[in-house]
């Protein structure tokens, strides 16, 4: 059998593999910048779905119970999971406390509107601005 590579060649092959690994890591790090846009896209989809369902069933632009349910079940878990597992657990505990307290003490509609329509919109827009900053910084 003929040895195609001389004895000094494996070191250079290792160097090429190391460079390839660094490039893969760099690509993976650059791909995480898109996670900032997930809450905005999720919220836009929720607004479209809830708005069309409310318009069809109740002839209102945004029915509050549907938005509360959609924000509680979809947006807050998605937003907190994009922040990390610790934030996901904390947010879900807070959501459960709000739900339990809301069942015992009637929360006002203004508080529910703030917590499940305005606050998610503000947080999603803030994440989108951060994502745009990261996107233009890396380009």
Read off the pLDDT of residues 35-74 as tens digits, 9 standing for 90 and up: 788 888 888 898 888 888 888 888 887 777 888 888 888 8
What is the maximal distance between C-alpha atoms in the chain?
Answer: 83
Range of the domain at 116: 36-138
52 occurs within a structural domain: yes
Q: What is the distance between the alpha carbons of residues 45 and 102, in angstroms, rounded to a whole number?
A: 26
Closest by Cα among 36, 22, 40 to 134: 36
Q: Is the pLDDT of residue 111 over 60?
A: yes
15 occurs within a structural domain: no
What's the mean pLDDT in 120-131? 88
47 occurs within a structural domain: yes
Q: How many domains does the chain fold into?
A: 1
Model confidence at 1, pLDDT cuts 50, 70, 90, reads very low
Question: Please, are residues 115 and 98 in contact by the beta-carbon 8 Å criterion?
Answer: yes
30 occurs within a structural domain: no
pTM value surpassing 0.85: no
What is the predicted pLDDT for the residue at 4?
Answer: 47
Q: What is the distance between the alpha carbons of residues 36 and 133, in angstroms, rounded to a whole number?
A: 10
């Amino acid at each position: 059998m003929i040895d195609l590579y001389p004895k000094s060649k494996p070191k250079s092959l290792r160097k090429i593999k190391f460079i390839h690994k660094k490039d893969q890591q760099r690509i993976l790090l650059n791909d995480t910048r898109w996670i900032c846009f997930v809450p905005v896209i999720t919220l836009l989809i929720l607004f479209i779905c809830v708005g069309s369902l409310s318009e069809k069933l109740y002839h209102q632009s945004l029915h509050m119970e549907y938005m509360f349910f959609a924000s509680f079940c979809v947006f807050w878990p998605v937003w907190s999971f994009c922040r990390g597992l610790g934030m996901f657990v904390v947010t879900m505990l807070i959501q459960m406390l709000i739900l339990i307290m809301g069942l015992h003490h009637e929360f006002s509609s203004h508080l529910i509107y703030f917590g499940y329509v305005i606050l998610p919109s503000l947080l999603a827009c803030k994440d989108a601005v951060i994502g745009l900053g990261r996107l233009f910084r890396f380009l």
